[in-house]
Amino acid sequence: MEPEGANLLELAREQVGEVLRTGRLTIAVFGLGSVGLAVASVWLRAGARVVGVDVDEDKVKRIASGDVPHPEGVVVETIRSSLRKGFFRAVTDGAAAVKSSHVADVVVPVLYGPGGPDFKALDDVVTTIGKHMRRGYTVIIESSLPPLTTEERVKPMLEELSGLKADIDFALIYSPERVLVGRAVEDIEVRYPKVVAGVGPRSLALAEALYGNIARAGVVKASSPRTAEFAKLAEGVYRDVNIALANELARLARAVGVDFTEVIGIANTQPYSHIHRPGAGVGGHCIPVYPKFLSWLGRLRGVALELVEHARLVNELQPLDVVRLLLYGLGSRAQKRVRVAVLGLAYRGNVAISTHSPTYRIVEELLRLGFEVVVHDPLIGEDRHLGSLGVGLVGDLAEAVRGSDAVLVTTDHDAYKRLSPCDLSGLSAKQGLVIVDARDVMAVTECCDATYIGIGRGVKCRGDGTPQAPELGGVAW
């Protein structure tokens, strides 16, 4: 049954806001991952009714029961409260969701595979929407996409399947999500302006009317969906290139005895300098993928993105640099049976997400070298890939470090920032513990008998309890 409510394309801006705030607008959110759940909660907080759609039956059942898998309390409470009030429901039937809603908001991921972007999840959702939408319907795409996808892939599919014309019979909006999981609701509502684009002027005006009721930082109108798509990817590629630059400069800083963390602090006092911090590599759903989208598009259009591709390679190889630092610290002991505790599976601190985490590459290389490996993470309880490798994942730090010859800190969890070399040395109870801090998060004021090497700091402890200036390697002048 079609829901009550007017064609949004025919409403004035003030009327759109009123329909939203008074609960007369129903939005089907496709994709109930970490971002999708945050997007759903934002619509609910704005006054809309929401139907959450996902192909994962177990996830849908969990959410429908009030067990909301999300790190943000505001998301969990909003979904639970809305379930009780009847403003939210979770389903697997996308067709029914389209029929019972005014708007479809698509937040499913586009992945990157061996042959290029994998559009399957997006295509499946767009097909469902196109088959069941009606005149006056609104489609919003929030997924990060290669430029031209909305105009040259989504729009033709919707028009062919529905028999309707975009920007005349239905609205088609591209508005990329710009969030950091862990503070996603705040990012959408407060921190960042909402970027919107439409396939025509009516769609763009509706996008501005809808998101003007949500984003306190305002709405930024892009001239076309391809511009908004490009801008979203450019944000991530900027970070990937900057991180690669930091990783390369950190290697040179270690070689000449310079603490790169100090360099960053000094250089970034200049307003045009925004050097990032080096690390163990780059993970997550976004930054490792966006450069590949643009490189793929560049190859199709005959444009080589050499800097982008080199930066991606630098960051993909960065886990091997972490292992190299460990071998340097171990010295001759690297030839023996070594137990290594890897602290952090999550790709980023204080989130329970391990997608594309550099820890996986580090663990695989350690196993190749014949080391015994255990992984600790305070937020992730189990992991199929580590299990397939025969590597234990534990939540007790003392259990992970006990008896270890070396510790690698690969994630900047707050729990690790409170540790010192002496803390880890005491937990290990092994003389001459080697610590490689691949996120430069530990406080190093005393060393006990540990050797400490920071990814950007170099060697600060030599295993004899003496702090020292950073150095790693020598220079032949």
CB 320 within 8 A of CB 365: yes
Instruction: Report CA 393 to chain centroid distance, whole Å.
Output: 22
Token look-up 């939203």 returns: 20
Token look-up 């390369």 returns: 248
Active site residue 232: yes
What are the backbone angles phi and psi of residue 344, rounded to the nearest 5°? 115, 115
Q: How many CB atoms lie within 10 A of CB 320?
A: 14
Pairwise CA distance, residues 144 & 130, whole Å: 20
Token representation of residue 316: 């993909």
**Which secondary structure element, helix H or strand E, spans residue 60, and what is its range?**
helix 57-64
Question: In sequence order, what are the residues at sequence separation of 6 or more whose Cβ sits closer than 8 angstroms to the Cβ of residue 43?
Answer: 27, 29, 50, 105, 214
Token look-up 């972490």 returns: 322
Pairwise CA distance, residues 173 & 329, whole Å: 54
Catalytic residue among 59, 232, 292, 460: 232
- Beta strand pairing status for 111-113 and 103-106? unpaired
Q: How many CB atoms lie within 10 A of CB 107?
A: 24
Give me the active site residues, please: 232, 286
